[in-house]
Chain A
Amino acid sequence: MNKFDRITPEGTRDALFAECTLRRQIENRLHGLFTARGYSEIITPTLEFYDVFNRDAQPFQQEKMYKLTDAKGRLMVLRPDNTVPIARVCATRLRDAKLPLRLCYNQTIYMVSPSLKGRDDEISQSGIELIGSDSRMADIEVIAAAVDVLRSCDPEYKLELGNAALFRTLIGQLSASETVKDEIRELMESKNYPALNDLLDTLEQNETVSVLRRLPRLFGGEEVFEKAASLCSCETVAAILSDLHDLWKAVTQFAGKEHVTVDLGMMHRTDYYTGMILRGYLSGYGEEVLSGGRYDSLISEFDYNVPATGFGVNIDAVVKVLSKGDTPAAELPVSNVLIWAAKGCEADAVSAAESLRAKGLIVEHSLSETQAEAHAYAAAHGIESVLPITVSKAQIQAEAGKDA
């Protein structure tokens, strides 16, 4: 039988040295950005019951979750998402907490990726959730935080806005079977213009159908709103569009027009969003690095009816972009001082090291047998100074005792 004791499971890997440093820097920077906005960190378990993610809209495919059972045979999963567990916490332990709640997190999610596609099954995610407000200011606060995150990673970032209610309203007006509606959704998401046209041709032609035909092509800068204005006489759609336009105007004021785009056909795979949706892109990474939006009905599925909005950042993606695909050259920290202790002086070496570290130096103990070996080691590793300790305090005291 094969023994898999030398490799990590597909989609997972070990991170070494410089990559860990970079990862920690990014996580700390994001944590700083979030706490400076009044967000408090929460940690939820890696293991959750399957039922937590088995939601009405089925945002998570069963076969994409890592599953196991607990001691009582109940089905559990490694969390595939951070927002749903936070919704669970809000509806239970934080039910009586004063609103709004500002929560941030930094933890891994797990999903089964198609094999041999070079994708990660374990993804570190950092993000915020603003719970308890359906105001425009709440969305803007979240978007502003997203802009800050992206800007701190790459000055050439792009932020994209959309609204999940747009498609939901249109598809609701359509008289077609659920299967056809699902198919339209899929084709819209993959911007499959030819197949979408073919499918829409088979339906009764009306205004909704012609809007759906145009929708996936409507992405880009402010001109999108002009093109969309004449699209539809439906008041609900017009209201959503003008709302999104107002949001766009506000966001461009602090983010700059060159960084903000809009995609009216934007759709998220995780389908619990109800309003504003956003995505962030960095050049050099083939997928979005940041995604989120407003989810006003998710927490109510846990019997606590509060609106919420937020986003998550894929830390692994950011690490990849910032290290330009390359692990940054292994710049391991070099110690300043190497302390070598003669036999019997080990305890003195420890206290000497402590006092040097207190001064901010990196101090390493020499593990060599002889002092000469310690010097050779220091030279080979670029350590500036060697401190030999050949006499212990006990010996000194003993000597002093003799003299007296």
Chain B
Amino acid sequence: MRPIRIALTKGRLEKDTVGLFEELGLDCTAVREKGRKLILPVGDGSIEVVLAKANDVITYVEHGVCDLGVVGKDTILEMQGKFYELLDLGFGRCKFALAVKKGTNFYSGYGVKTIASKYPNVTRRFFEAKGMDVDIVKIEGSVELAPLLELSDGIVDIVETGTTLKENGLEVFEDVCSISARLIANTVSMKLRQTELEALISKIEVYFAEKAQ
């Protein structure tokens, strides 16, 4: 049988996950010295790590070509899909927030507001829940530009420290929801390889429980 395959979101979540695996006693040398390789063995070879972009982590897990995945809640909220969301891994913490130009009241006036965001689905659901019609403009790069250039009345984006907002004369007007890294699983893998996957998951849970004490 092929090793358990875990898709990791490249970048910070990858580093944090590797850190977690090493705390669990799994040898991650291959991942640390990966070069340009994208599929790498971990521990005794019973686990394999796949490095992918956040959206692709979900795609690979949904299709079952990867059994587990580590991905931010931001991507999960934007992409959605059919998989199990098993654990909050605690790292990669930040939040989705509605930000506007400093000192403006977003809800004032009767005009329909325009929101710029890299996350149109998250934005749509947030305002739908409020029963509010907004125009959503999808922006790929620095979303902060949109209100500065007066393309939009506000932005919905990931906020960590708020420094970028402050430096561009924006401020958080309202929090949308908090975000952190999640461990997701393919629904069929979870059933067909239950013993192996649960062993790994409970290892992580035990580690978190001990750390919390």
Contact = CB atoms under 8 A, between A and B. Distances in A.
Interface of A: 114, 117-118, 158, 160, 190-195, 219-220, 261, 263, 281, 283-288
B134 interface: no
A193 B86 contact: yes
- Dominant SS at the A interface? loop
Contact of B64 (A117, A158, A287): A287
Contact of B191 (A117, A193, A195, A261): A261
B187 interface: yes
B191 A190 contact: no
6 contacts: A114-B81, A117-B81, A118-B63, A190-B83, A191-B84, A285-B188
Contact of A190 (B63, B85, B88): B85
A72 to B, nearest CB: 33
B84 A286 contact: no
Given A158-B191, A286-B186, A286-B188, A194 B64 contact: no
Interface in B53-69: 59, 62-65
Interface of B: 59, 62-65, 81-88, 182, 185-192, 194
B192 A158 contact: yes
Contacts of B88: 194
Most buried by B among A117, A219, A263, A285: A117
A287 B187 contact: yes
B84 A192 contact: yes
Contacts of A285: 64, 188
Central interface residue in A158, A160, A192, A284, by most chain B CB within 10 Å: A192
Contact of A281 (B59, B85, B191): B191
A279 B37 CA distance: 37
Contacts of B87: 193-194
Interface pairs A-B: 5 shortest CB-CB: A286-B64, A191-B84, A194-B88, A192-B85, A286-B63
Given A195-B85, A286-B62, A220 B192 contact: no
Contacts of A263: 191
A283 B194 contact: no
A263 B192 CA distance: 12
A119 to B, nearest CB: 9
B191 A191 contact: no
A178 to B, nearest CB: 15
Nearest to A283: B192
Nearest to A196: B85
A194 B65 CA distance: 25
A394 B88 CA distance: 87
Nearest to B83: A190
A195 B179 CA distance: 12
A219 B194 contact: yes
B85 A117 contact: no
A114 B81 CA distance: 9
A117 B59 contact: yes
Nearest to B198: A220
A18 to B, nearest CB: 23
B4 to A, nearest CB: 14
Nearest to B1: A283
A215 to B, nearest CB: 14
A158 B194 CA distance: 12
Contacts of A194: 85, 87-88, 182
A195 B192 CA distance: 24
B84 A288 contact: no
Given A263-B191, A287-B82, 4 more contacts: A158-B192, A191-B85, A283-B192, A286-B187
B167 to A, nearest CB: 33
Which residue, A118, A285, A287, has most C-beta atoms of chain B within 10 A?
A287
B90 to A, nearest CB: 10
A287 B65 CA distance: 11
B174 to A, nearest CB: 20
B64 A220 contact: no
A219 B189 CA distance: 13
Given A160-B191, A283-B192, A287-B188, A117 B62 contact: yes
A114 B64 CA distance: 17
A146 to B, nearest CB: 15
B191 A219 contact: yes
A114 B55 CA distance: 14
A285 B187 CA distance: 10
Contacts of B82: 190, 287
Contacts of B84: 190-192
A191 B85 CA distance: 6
A333 B194 CA distance: 43
Contacts of A287: 64, 82, 187-188
Given A190-B84, A193-B87, A286 B191 contact: no
A261 B193 CA distance: 12
Contacts of A158: 191-192
A276 B85 CA distance: 25
A200 B192 CA distance: 29
Contacts of A160: 191
A317 to B, nearest CB: 11
A191 B65 contact: no
A186 to B, nearest CB: 11
Most chain-A CB neighbours within 10 Å: which of B63, B82, B85, B188?
A: B188
Nearest to B84: A191
A281 B188 contact: yes
A261 B81 CA distance: 24
B66 to A, nearest CB: 9
Nearest to B194: A220
A131 to B, nearest CB: 29
